[in-house]
Amino acid sequence: MTKTNYFYTIRFVMMILCCFFVFNNPVFPESATTSWLHEEIVEKREILYAFYEKRMIQYNEKSVANFKSNIINQHFPKDSAFDTNINQLFQDAIDRKINFNLFFNSLIHEPLVLFIAMNENEKLVLEKTYKEINPHVTEIDLTKIQHYINTKKLSVSITLGSAKEKLITPIYPENQYAYPFAIHSIGKVFTGVLVLMMIEQDVLSEDDLNRPVQLDQTVLRKLPSTVREQLKKVTLYQLMIHQGGLGDYLDHYFKAIESGQPPVIRRAEDFLPFVDEEVYPIGVERYSNAGLLLVGLAIKHAYETKYHHPINYDVLLKNMLLNTVGMPSFSIVKPDNAKYNLQDPIAPFIAGSPAGGYWMTSQDLAKFGQWIYQKTQDDARFNALIKKYGQEFYYTDDDTVAHGGGIASSNAFLSVSLRTGAVLVIESNQPPGYADDLKTMIQRHVFARPNNDGR
C-alpha cells in the first residue's frame, strides 16, 4: 500500500467510526439522528459522485479548479497545510490513486452549501424542490434543530417561527440567544427600508431615487476624486441596487485594523476615508458596500435639508426604525458581552454603517422580520415600494425579504416570507458554511416540505 493510500485508508476508517458513534448516540431519539444529518450526507455523496464521474474522471480543468478553490477559500483560519492537502486530494483522485469512497470521506465534513453551490453551477444532479407551508415549529422540529447543532458543534443563536405568533428562541447552545452577534450586511436591509419610509413620509420622492445622488459637501470632500466624478452621473436607486459602479471600503478598513491601529468609528462618515478610488461601469451590478454607505448618507442629507437641522445617521435610523420595531440590543460597535470569533483579529472591530456591521441579538433581529411582515400586510404603499425598489433584499420568486452577510470567521442570516410569515434568524461566530447548512435544513424541513416526488 502506498503512503498516500495508507493515509486515506486511515482517514476512511476514522470516518466510519465517527459515523457509527453519531448515529448510535443514545442521547437523541432515533428520528432525530437519522433525518437531517443522514440527508445531508446522502446529498453530499450524490452531488460529489456526479462531479467525480463527469468532471474529474472526464477531466474538466475549470470545474475542478473552481470547486477546489471554493473549498480552500471557505476554510478558516487560513492554513497552508489544509490547502496543500486539498490540492493533493484532488490530484490523487484525478490520477486514480484513490477511489471515490476515499475522496468523498475526505470531504464529508465540508459544508453542504459548497456542494449545492457547485451543483447549481455544474447542473449535475436534479435539484431538490420544496413546497412552502404555513410555519409552525413543533417540539420535534426543535429536537432536530438541537441535535443538529450539538452534533455539528455549531456556535449559533437562532430565532424562528411565524410572524403572526410569538417567535421561538431555543436556549441552546449555552444560552447564546442572550448575546449580541455581528449581523454584517443584514444592516443593508435597515437602510433600504429606511429609504422607503422616507418616501412614505415625504422626505424623499420616488423621483428622487432616479436623480443623481445628493450628498453634503462635507461628505463629498472626503471621497476620492474619481468617486466624486462618478457620483455626478449615478442615481440614488442605482446605489441601492449595486449598479453605481463603486467599489468597497472594507478592504482598506480591515488593513487598517491589521496594521495594529484600529480606526475609531463613531459615525457612518468615519468610513469615508477608506472608500476605494477605483470606479466601474454604471448600470452593471457590482456589489458595493461603499454604495450603500452613501445611500445612508444621502437620506441623512435629505432629512437635514427638509427639517433644517443636523442629525447623525445612526440617530436617524434609531428614531425612525429601530425604536419603532423595538431592538434594544442594537449597537454600532461590539458590545462587551458580544460573541465573536476569537481566532479573528478583525472580528472585534466590526462596526456598523448603512452598509452593515451592526451588532444585536437574534431575538431583536427577528422582531425586525416580524415588523416587516406586518407592515407589508397593513400598508399597501409600503408593500408596493418594497416590490418596486427593494431588489437588494426582496426576492420576487418566493415573495421573501432576505439577506445574509459575513466575513471569513462569522456570519448572519435574516429571512421573512411575506407569503406565509415564516421568520428565520441565524447568527454565528463560526465560518459561514456551517450556519448556512443549518439555515438550509430549517428552511427545507420546518418552513417547507419536500414535493411528493422528492424533487
Q: Are residues 48 and 84 in the same domain?
A: yes
Q: Are residues 109 and 7 in the same domain?
A: yes
> Residue 171's pLDDT is what?
79
Distance between CA atoms of 142 and 178, rounded to whole angstroms?
18
Q: What is the mean pLDDT of residues 35-52?
A: 95
Verdict on whether the full-model pTM lies above 0.85: yes
Q: Which residues contact 266 (CB under 8 A, 6 or more apart)?
A: 332
Cβ 362 vs Cβ 169: under 8 Å: yes
Domain range for 333 is 139-450
Q: Are residues 146 and 37 in the same domain?
A: no
User: What residues form DSSP beta bridges with 184?
Assistant: 358
Task: Indicate whether 387 belongs to any domain.
Answer: yes
Q: Which of 127, 154, 177 is the last residue of a domain?
A: 127
pLDDT in tens, 22-40: 333 333 344 444 579 999 9
Task: Indicate whether 455 belongs to any domain.
Answer: no
Task: Indicate whether 400 belongs to any domain.
Answer: yes
Q: Are residues 195 and 248 in the same domain?
A: yes
Is pLDDT above 70 for 9? no
Distance between CA atoms of 351 and 355, rounded to whole angstroms?
10
User: Apex CA 138: angle with CA 135 and CA 139, to 5°?
Assistant: 160
What are the distances in angstroms from CA 438 to CA 63, 103, 149, 157, 455? 26, 24, 8, 11, 20
pLDDT in tens, 73-130: 999 999 999 999 999 999 999 999 999 999 999 999 999 999 999 999 999 999 888 8
Band the pLDDT of 16: cuts 50, 70, 90: very low
Q: Which of 127, 157, 188 is the last residue of a domain?
A: 127
pLDDT in tens, 315-346: 999 999 999 999 999 999 999 999 999 999 99
> Residue 4's pLDDT is what?
46
Q: Which of 77, 104, 127 is the last residue of a domain?
A: 127
Task: Indicate whether 85 belongs to any domain.
Answer: yes
Task: Indicate whether 132 belongs to any domain.
Answer: no
Q: What is the mean pLDDT of residues 201-213?
A: 97
- Grid coordinates representing 127? 435539484
Q: Are residues 18 and 146 in the same domain?
A: no
Phi, psi of 159 (to 5 degrees): -135, 135
CATH of the domain at 301: 3.40.710.10
Q: Are residues 290 and 314 in the same domain?
A: yes
**Residues of the chain above pLDDT 70, percent:** 91
**Kind and range of the H or E run holding 416:** strand 410-417
Task: Indicate whether 437 belongs to any domain.
Answer: yes
Q: Are residues 155 and 218 in the same domain?
A: yes
Q: Are residues 19 and 121 in the same domain?
A: yes
> Residue 173's pLDDT is what?
67
pLDDT in tens, 388-427: 999 999 999 999 999 999 999 999 999 999 999 999 999 9
Q: Are residues 290 and 434 in the same domain?
A: yes
Q: Are residues 108 and 154 in the same domain?
A: no
Task: Indicate whether 158 belongs to any domain.
Answer: yes
Task: Indicate whether 144 belongs to any domain.
Answer: yes
Q: Are residues 233 and 118 in the same domain?
A: no
Sheet with 156-162, edge to edge strand ranges: 156-162, 422-428, 410-417, 400-407, 394-395
Structural domain total, the chain:
2
Q: Are residues 387 and 260 in the same domain?
A: yes
Within 300-409, strands assigned E span 358-360, 394-395, 400-407
Distance between CA atoms of 321 and 201, rounded to whole angstroms?
13
